[in-house]
Amino acid sequence: MLRTLDNIILEMKMIQLQLYLAKRTTTRYKSSKTILLEVESHINHSLHSLSHLITQIDAFKIIAESKYSASNRIKEDL
């Protein structure tokens, strides 16, 4: 479960970095076509990472609910 949480934090940092790179790109280049292509690339990577993060959060939620449910069953049996 700790590994899943670490993965979620890592994905959040990746998204933050990709959005930072997209923002920085707009100030670095003069050609508007170059800016748009690079910013679009960073945003697409961010969206991919966001999708992966949502999957990780869903997995974490399922694991947590499963452990909570198992814990309650044990308490009820006692």
pLDDT at 76 (0 to 100): 65
Per-residue confidence (pLDDT) for residue 74, from 0 to 100: 67
Q: Name the token pair of 76.
A: 């009820």
Tokens representing residue 33 in the block: 């076509």
13 lies in which domain range?
Answer: 2-77
For residue 32, the model assigns a pLDDT of 77
Q: What is the pTM of this model?
A: 0.58
CA distance 31 to 62: 47
The pLDDT value recorded for residue 67 is: 82
User: What domain count does the chain have?
Assistant: 1
Beta strand spans in 1-78 (E):
none
pLDDT in tens, the chain (78 residues): 667 778 888 888 888 888 888 777 776 666 677 777 888 888 888 888 888 888 888 888 888 888 878 777 666 665
Q: Which of 21, 6, 2, 17 is nearest to 53 (CA)?
A: 6
